Amino acid sequence: MDDPVDSLKNGLENEYCPPLDPALFVAIASDYNLLNDGSVRQLRDTLDALKASADEQENATFDPSGKSGRDFVAGDHDEFASEEDGSHPTKNSLTSTLEPIESVFSVFSLEENLEPTRSGEPWSGIHTDSPLSSNRVSQVTGLTFEGKRAYLMDMFPSIDQYTIVHTLRKCGEDIDRSMDVLLNLAFFENQSTDDQEDKVSIPKGIDGFEVDIHSRERKWAKSKRSVKRQGSLPPSIASSAVTQHETNRVENVWENSRRDVNFICSRTYLSPKFVTSAYHTNGASLPNTLHSLASAEAERHANSMMDKSITVTQIAELKQEFHKVSSEKLAGLLLLARNSTSAASELATVMTTAAPPPTEIVQIQQAPVDLSEFPSQTQNSRSRTREQPHDHLTSRAIADSHIIAGHSAFAKANSAYRRAKSDRLMGGAAGYYSAVGRERVEKAKREAAAAAKALVELQSNSTLLDLHGVSVQHAVDIAKKKVDAWWYSLGDTKYAPGGWGPVQQGYRIITGLGRHSKNGTARLGPAVARALANEGWKVEVGEGSLTITGMAKRR
């Protein structure tokens, strides 16, 4: 008869190995009494936390930069990379803020919301419980060869009939495989034609030496002068520091702290040790730190700072640009910057930038006590005064804060696990912080979906859906819902004799050509087209866009 301890240990080893190493499992299990149910529960909590960390490291790729921010893991970045079109420069500034979120979620098992295809790739988005989904999935099954050919010709009007027939026969008249091949051909053909327009003929052989060499030298000298000119623009340094400070705040807390301290030290006479202390005293906020340092410096030299006429002139010059800042703080910045107007201007530019709210890792709050005589009325008033949905920038910032909180919680879980080797009570702390991290990640996923939806609403209308700046997962989900809403909005006019105008005009979906995705291969367009075709919609694949003209008819 087997020993119960050995059988339990073998069962746990089969459950947690892999991803855990068997030697590590044996070392951890030897610290617990497996005959005690409480010890077994603590062991399971510790192994769960360690398994979550191992899964995270297993899905992560090597990051040579050493950052722990938005690029701490890449996962399958191809599925979540934004596919923006280079012809929309104004939209790039709006959509670039959503990109850090999408590359993070691949670690936390977003694959559970994706529907696998024949090849096992999670191309489709979150499944939507649409009332028409069950009636649309298999509308093209059982067609004859001519019916399949006509269906594919309607879907791909830009591809000639010979290619469609050849592809259909080559795939054994399998319409799903043929659709995959034709989707790739459609997007590759559109991309190749655009690339050929930008090609420049380069002379080869002896003809290549006939090019004017002096023109190359002039271009090289001009490029060197432009580099030198860029290096002598101090105001651009300040503006880039502000932009980089805001956009990279989520990447790495320690890197941002070091960058902010160096920014102050390079423009003032203060030592890094003093600036670091003041920086952390003011909540790791660069604008708040500058406010504090300027006020302290102005108070220290309050009696003598206005004695020099040149100082008064410099303050008046800065006052024209920063009229909302008091003269005392401007004088303090001048004293910190050794009376350098340019350095004081850069410090004032950053100081007047609004600081984002600090992120709390674990918020411990007590439930509020309801002292009202009629609690039902207060609940109804709360439900009537619900908060309005955030815009995409606010949702993105909230998602970033949840990601940072999740990182910190997982780090605390790992630290608690290491301490659990000597203190068994820390095993429960590891499980607690692991649960907090998972909760934060779920909140970040919801906020990222809300940010994607808000961005699409901002750049779309009733007959046009622009999916630039949205991941493949969110794009597929949004496209399904928007096409359903467009079809229902037509009402009975789509069935009336003269009501086919809106249907013939169609519902246009802009997906882009995929120039910004990995290897320049379009991923968003084929995924959305395939998902809508499987839903039973009549899809026409165009150049960087799709057109929905109704539901596919049964043949």
Tell me how far apart the alpha carbons of residues 418 and 416 are, in angstroms, rounded to a whole number.
5
Tell me how far apart the alpha carbons of residues 53 and 456 are, in angstroms, rounded to a whole number.
34
- DSSP assignment letter at 186: H
Residues in the chain: 555
Q: In what order do the strands lie in the sheet with 507-510?
A: 464-466, 507-510, 545-551, 537-541
Q: What is the pLDDT of residue 2?
A: 59
Q: What is the pLDDT of residue 125?
A: 38
Write down the residue that tokens 């692991």 correspond to: 434
- DSSP assignment letter at 476: H
Contact (CB, 8 A) for 222 and 330? no
Other C-beta atoms closer than 10 Å to the C-beta of 193 total 10
| pLDDT per residue as tens digits for the range 342-357 | 888 888 888 887 655 5
Tell me how far apart the alpha carbons of residues 253 and 145 are, in angstroms, rounded to a whole number.
60
- DSSP assignment letter at 390: P
Q: What is the pLDDT of residue 118?
A: 38
Candidates 284, 282, 245; CA nearest to 263 is 245
Segments making up each domain of the chain, as ranges: 4-59, 61-196+391-555, 250-351
- SS3 labels along 13-30: HHHHCCCCCHHHHHHHHC
**Cis bond upstream, residue 18 (ω within 30):** yes
Tell me how far apart the alpha carbons of residues 39 and 351 are, in angstroms, rounded to a whole number.
54
Q: What is the pLDDT of residue 502?
A: 59
Question: DSSP assignment of 169-185, as one string?
Answer: HHTTT-HHHHHHHHHHH
Residue ranges in 81-174 assigned as alpha helix (H):
89-95, 99-102, 133-136, 145-155, 161-170
pTM score: 0.39
Within the chain, how many helices (H) and strands (E) appear? 24, 4
- Roughly what angle, to the nearest 10 degrees, separates helices 253-265 and 286-300? 30
Measure the N-to-C terminal CA separation of the chain; round to a whole number of Å: 66
Phi, psi of 387 (to 5 degrees): -70, 145
**Buried (b) or exposed (e) across 197-217, using 16+ Cβ within 10 A?**
eeeeeeeeeeeeeeeeeeeee
Candidates 5, 51, 49; CA nearest to 29 is 5
Residue ranges in 198-271 assigned as alpha helix (H):
213-231, 234-247, 253-265
Q: What is the pLDDT of residue 163?
A: 86
Tell me how far apart the alpha carbons of residues 167 and 181 are, in angstroms, rounded to a whole number.
7
Tell me how far apart the alpha carbons of residues 394 and 390 are, in angstroms, rounded to a whole number.
6
pLDDT, block means (10 residues), the chain with 555 residues: 72 78 76 79 81 72 46 39 41 41 41 40 40 45 79 82 86 84 73 48 48 48 51 46 45 75 89 88 84 86 75 82 83 85 86 62 53 52 51 82 89 87 84 90 89 86 84 88 85 63 74 72 83 86 83 59
